[in-house]
Amino acid sequence: MSLAFKRILLKLSGESLAGAQKHGIAPAVLDHFANEIAAAREAGVQVAIVIGGGNIFRGLSANAGEMDRVTADHMGMLATVINALALKDILERRNIPARAMSAVAMPEFAEPYLRNKAIRHLEKGRVVIFGAGTGNPYFTTDTAGVLRAIEIKADIIIKGTRVDGVYSADPEKEPGAVKYDRLSYMDVLNKGLKVMDTTAISLAMDNRMPVMVFNFDTPGNLQRVVAGDAIGTLVRG
C-alpha cells in the first residue's frame, strides 16, 4: 500500500466514543476505533492520537454550570486520560503496542509527556495516545492536537468526525449545506467554519500543518486517507 502520510496525528472527539448512548464509552465504537487504528499501523503509518473527554465531562458544557472554569477544565483533562487509557487497553488486547502519555503528571496511570520519548515510541511502531490536553485550562483538545502534531513532526492532522468533511452549515440540520473539498486556513477563520477552534486553526496556519476532516464512522476510511484518496476536506495554506 502506497502511503501519502507516514506519521499522522489522529484527533478524535470524546463524544464520538460514546456512540448513540451519548455518554460513557460504547464498546462497539471502541472496537471500531481499534480496527481503524490497527489497519493504519499495519500499513506502515506511525499513529499518534489526541482524544477529547466530552463523553465524560467537558469544561465548556451545561454540566459545568457555575463551576469555576479552571476546575471544570481540569475535570475535562482527567476525562481525556480515561479515554486514552480505554484506547490503550483495547489496542494492547489486540497485541498492538500502545503508550498513553499525559500532559499532567500521573505516573501510576500514564507516562509523562516528553516529546523525544513520544517520537521514539512512534519510530518503534507504538501507537501513542496523548491525554490531559495541553495540561493547561482554557485550551481545547483541538489546540492540543495541533500542538502535539507540530511537536512530533506529524505529516498531517486527521480529524475524525461523523460527517464526510466540512460543510457550509451543519448538514444534519441543513439539507442544502455545501461540502468543501479544500479550504485555506483563512477560509475557515473568515467563514467561521466549525473545523477546529480559532486558536487551533491559527496555530496550524502559523506552522503550516495541514488538517484533513473526514468521516471516521465509515470502516476503511482512515486507510483511504493515509493512502491519499480524495475524501473529506483538506485544510491547508
Whether 160 has a binding-site annotation, put simply, is no
- Rounded Cα gap, residues 71 and 128, in angstroms: 27
Whether 57 has a binding-site annotation, put simply, is no
Whether 14 has a binding-site annotation, put simply, is yes
Whether 65 has a binding-site annotation, put simply, is no
Whether 19 has a binding-site annotation, put simply, is no
Whether 80 has a binding-site annotation, put simply, is no
Whether 140 has a binding-site annotation, put simply, is yes
Whether 53 has a binding-site annotation, put simply, is yes
Whether 136 has a binding-site annotation, put simply, is yes
Whether 198 has a binding-site annotation, put simply, is no
Whether 139 has a binding-site annotation, put simply, is yes
Whether 52 has a binding-site annotation, put simply, is no
Whether 237 has a binding-site annotation, put simply, is no
Whether 218 has a binding-site annotation, put simply, is no
Q: Taking a C-beta distance cutoff of 8 angstroms, is the pair 127, 47 a contact? A: yes
Whether 185 has a binding-site annotation, put simply, is no
Q: Residue 29 carries which DSSP code?
A: H
- Return the sign of the alpha-carbon dihedral for residues 62, 64, 69, 72: negative
Whether 138 has a binding-site annotation, put simply, is yes
Whether 184 has a binding-site annotation, put simply, is no
- Rounded Cα gap, residues 62 and 202, in angstroms: 27
Whether 148 has a binding-site annotation, put simply, is no
Whether 215 has a binding-site annotation, put simply, is no
Count CB neighbours of 94 within 10 A.
12
Please state the residue numbers annotated as binding site for UMP.
53, 73, 134-141
Please state the residue numbers annotated as binding site.
11-14, 53-54, 58, 73, 134-141, 161, 167, 170
Please state the residue numbers annotated as binding site for ATP.
11-14, 54, 58, 161, 167, 170
